[in-house]
Amino acid sequence: MELPVQFRERMLRLLGDEAFCQYEESFKKERMYGLRVNTRKISVEEFIKISPFSIEKIPWIANGFYYDGTKDTPAKHPYYHAGLYYLQEPSAMTPASLLRAEPGDRVLDLCAAPGGKATELGVQLKGRGLLAANDISASRAKGLLKNLELFGIPNVMVTSETPEKLKTVYEGFFDKILIDAPCSGEGMFRKDPAIMKSWVKKGPAQYSVIQREITETALQMLKSGGICLYSTCTFAPEENEGTILYLLKNHPELEVLEAPAYQGFSTGRPEWLEEDCQGYEEQLQRCIRIWPYKMDGEGHFIALLHKKETAGCSKMTRASFIDESGLQKPKSRQAVAAVNKDLEEFLSILKVDWDESCFEFCQGRVYYVAHETQKMRGLHILRNGLLLGECRKNRFEPSQALAMFLTKEQCRQTISLDCGDIRVIKYLKGETIEVEDLVDEQASGWQLVCVSGYPLGWGKLVQGTLKNKYHQGWRWM
């Protein structure tokens, strides 16, 4: 592979002959493919038991696995459509695993599309707190929303805004922020050589300006005592240690935290910077670099920043949404019944302890929304909370998002197909299927359709025939 001359000369100068030779040799290695288990839906141990693929543990990611991308196609398996895993490059799993969102946290993923890191942060919250997932591109934000719905994350707000606009609403609001910053992508040259063409046109200098603007704004949304994780998939010092040094110099309230060590992680390299970093060397060394010649993954850079608490600054209380352990009979629904009796009847088949005050009705749609985002206005919001469904004339249509949020045990009316049953693929293609062998003769109405006990979507049962209600935009191609 022909590396850009300027890039090659710089890397040779920084790494030295031996390490640079090892780096070049890494281009001859097979690309590593990864999947991350959605532990909101299935435990790692259970996934290992049912996995149809040949998988191997990623040592530094608790729920991450390598798979053979030359033989297996996990994106074309029903378990993918059930949201049991996310396909993600192994090194890219590291930032969300290190940020470690706690249930009740308010978390912002600022540059979130397509959702690899956001889905993991949402799982870590366990349905409590708030995940704000943003991407400035509206088209990419739509893909982000789909992945969050596929994973069954309920306590989410998906926006498509500039960081500056978000700051006007969320100043000092978040406990944790993840910034997977736009970068020159040097760490992905091995995975996707086409990135080199963009690098030649733009280079690190242009991105370092953007990164500093984004992080400056993001820090204003971080509360006192909060943690911000900054990551890139590039090697350029000016985009990595240079950005962190800039933040440390301009924000004395910041400090770089020690991250959990792993044998293959390398430290930050302050000596690679051309500017003076005296007094900051130790903190910069706490940053993490992942090299493709040292680990089975692509290149990455990570820094954990702590915003030290200032005197007189109190911590915000943790957010509440829904306790996912709640399987009790729903509370009284006078407010719901007043809007739509079909909705009330539908909710009676679910075993979820809803907080009635979190219901919102907007243009016929019904949402379950966290209290503290119910008053948010002035933002381009693609989704706020969990979309339960739509109240149409004389009927209620439950949403795909609700199906993916639920477990089989939380619905009284379910149809579960074996993974190898041809009807699974027919269902995912949007076809009507016969299920007389799986239901009682008297059974009818809405059914939560599952594969191996894991929800895929909705169907409506009429005399042994299941009318397909699987989301049209998600259908098997």
Q: Report yes or no: 277 and 284 within 8 Å, Cβ to Cβ.
A: yes
- Which residues have CB under 8 Å from 62's CB, separation 6+? 44, 97
- C-alpha span between 474 and 354 (Å, rounded): 27
Query: Which candidate, 254, 264, 249, places its Cα nearest to that of 303?
Result: 254
Q: Residue 395 — very low, low, confident or very high, per pLDDT cuts 50/70/90?
A: confident
More confident: 235 or 203: 235
338 confidence band (pLDDT: 50, 70, 90): low
Predicted structure pTM score: 0.93
Which pLDDT score is estimated for 393? 81
Nearest to 297 by CA among 468, 59, 473, 72: 59
| Element containing residue 77 per DSSP (H, E) | none
What mean pLDDT do residues 418-433 have?
97
Write b or e for each residue in 169-208: b if 16 or more Cβ atoms lie within 10 A of its Cβ, otherwise e: bbeebbbbbbbbbbbbbbbbbbbeeebbeebeeebbeebb
Percent of the chain having pLDDT more than 70? 93
Side-chain-side CA neighbours of 297 within 13 Å: the count stands at 28
pLDDT digits (tens, 9 = 90+) for 119-165: 999 999 999 999 999 999 999 999 999 999 999 999 999 999 999 99
Among 184-188, 234-238, 356-360, 414-418, the range scoring the smallest mean pLDDT is: 356-360
For residue 356, the model assigns a pLDDT of 81
Q: What is the pLDDT confidence band of residue 339, given thresholds at 50, 70 and 90?
A: low
Whether 128 contacts 155, CB under 8 Å? yes
Average pLDDT over residues 365-371: 88
CA distance 41 to 13: 47
Query: What residues are annotated to the active site?
Result: 233
Are the CB atoms for 190 and 298 separated by under 8 Å? yes
How confident is the prediction for the chain on average, in pLDDT?
92
Confidence category of residue 373, pLDDT binned at 50, 70, 90: confident
Long-range contacts of 248-252 (CB under 8 A, 24+ apart): 248/280, 248/283, 249/280, 250/216, 251/219, 251/307
The least confident of 6-15, 31-40, 266-275, 341-350 is 341-350
Residue with tokens 């929304």: 369
pLDDT digits (tens, 9 = 90+) for 198-219: 999 988 999 999 999 999 999 9
C-alpha to C-alpha distances, 336 to 210, 273, 355, 360, nearest whole angstrom:
47, 60, 11, 10
Is cis: bond before 330, omega within 30 of 0?
no
Average pLDDT over residues 372-378: 67
pLDDT band at 465 (very low <50, low <70, confident <90, very high): very high
Token pair belonging to 311: 């005197």
Per-residue pLDDT at 293 exceeds 60? yes
Phi then psi for residue 40, to 5 deg, are: -70, -30
Residues in the chain: 477
User: pLDDT-based confidence at 316, cuts 50/70/90?
Assistant: very low
Q: What is the pLDDT of residues 7-60, one digit of tens each?
A: 999 999 999 999 999 999 999 999 999 999 999 999 999 999 999 999 999 999
Helix axes 163-170 and 203-220, enclosed angle (nearest 10): 10
Structure token digits, residue 356: 């009635």
Region 236-243: mean pLDDT is 98
What was the pLDDT predicted at 381?
Answer: 94
